[in-house]
Amino acid sequence: MPRSDFYPPIDPFQTGTLAVDGIHTVYWEQAGNPRGVPVMFLHGGPGAGASPTHRRFFDPAHYRIVVMDQRGAGRSTPLGETRENTTERLVEDIERLRRHLGIERWHLFGGSWGSTLALAYAETHPERCLGLILRGIFLMRKSEIDWFLYSMRVLFPEAWAAFASHIPEEERGDLLEAYWKRLDSPDPMVRMAAARVWSVYEGSCSSLLPSPDLIAASGEDRHALGLARIEAHYFRSNRFTPEDKLLRDVSRIRHLPGVIVQGRYDIVCPVISADALHRAWPEADYRIVPDAGHSAMEPGIRAALIQATERFKEYR
């Protein structure tokens, strides 16, 4: 019977930091089999950072598991830094880390914003990729950002009301700019208050059934600050040109094995984006999980992702 649950917890066999420019230093780690098939885990957000649980999607006997906290996120420094923080810079960081670790080719595994970044990297460096496992597809289009800022209230009115009420009524016509003004405030208390509300809003909408643990983790200071500042910064300043660039450039990776896992009731990244990606990449294995939302930790999503990493053992 195919494996569908997490592998046991493991510690990294190597950790390090990599100075990628005069501002940013990124944290990275390797776990599993040092001589195994390399796989790069790309976290969401942008700005969410990675956690020890993310190593557990992969068979540690087979995979050389590489994890990096992206610029401004998690254990990378400075936390929440938006200067020189763009999609293109993140793609360069991934490639720099690949060379630093002496890896020829690797799998990419990313969910939510991690799916965006995986596509951007793979379409830039297809020759370095073995395959892609993607979850909760986000393509950084204006319609997706507007959905997050305004339209999620259709299904999560209480969570949206808490999100919007942090902003004075006269500023709610542009929630993104109103939040950015506070997230970029010189007053750390103003920044932290806005970051916590933003992050808890996202966490509250990320699972099909209420998850107190997920909501509590969303409100943790470091996570909230990195997520909210970097996410708002990207929503404001890092759209693709043209907007559908990731879909247009799928032709560069259609020869690679791909898996797309999507919760039917994903409210943060609705299924319409996964559908668009599958139509552009019909060769990819497309799995809609009928009883799941956005979070990779929901049972159906988790099982589909682990089954994908098991199937990918045949690709080296």
Q: What is the pLDDT of residues 161-172, one digit of tens each?
A: 999 999 999 999
Identify the domain boundary among 217, 237, 257. 237
Residue 4 lies in a domain: no
316 pLDDT above the threshold of 90 = no
pTM: 0.97
pLDDT band per the 50, 70, 90 thresholds, residue 3: confident
Residue 308 lies in a domain: yes
Whether 244 and 122 share a structural domain: yes
Query: What are the pLDDT digits (tens) for 54-108?
Result: 999 999 999 999 999 999 999 999 999 999 999 999 999 999 999 999 999 999 9
List of residues 6+ apart from 64 with CB closer than 8 A: 30, 32, 33, 34, 35, 36, 37, 38, 39, 103
Residue 62 lies in a domain: yes
Look up the domain containing 280 and give its range: 14-141+240-314
Q: What is the overall mean pLDDT for the chain?
A: 97
Residue 175 lies in a domain: yes
Residue 222 lies in a domain: yes
Whether 137 and 257 share a structural domain: yes
Bridge partners, residue 262, by sequence? 288
Provide mean pLDDT across the span 129-146.
98
What's the number of domains the chain is made of? 2
Whether 19 and 129 share a structural domain: yes
* Residues with active-site annotation: 112, 266, 294
Instruction: Report the phi/psi class of residue 277: left, alpha or beta, with left for phi > 0 and alpha for psi in -120 to 50.
Output: alpha
> For position 15, what pLDDT does the model report?
98
1 pLDDT above the threshold of 70 = no
Residue 28 · residue 99 · CB < 8 Å: no
Instruction: Report the phi/psi class of residue 74: left, alpha or beta, with left for phi > 0 and alpha for psi in -120 to 50.
Output: left
Identify the domain boundary among 213, 237, 261. 237
Residue 7 lies in a domain: no
Whether 112 and 150 share a structural domain: no
CATH number of the domain enclosing 33:
3.40.50.1820
Whole-angstrom distance, CA of residue 86 vs CA of residue 43: 15
Provide mean pLDDT across the span 176-189.
98
Identify the domain boundary among 214, 237, 260. 237
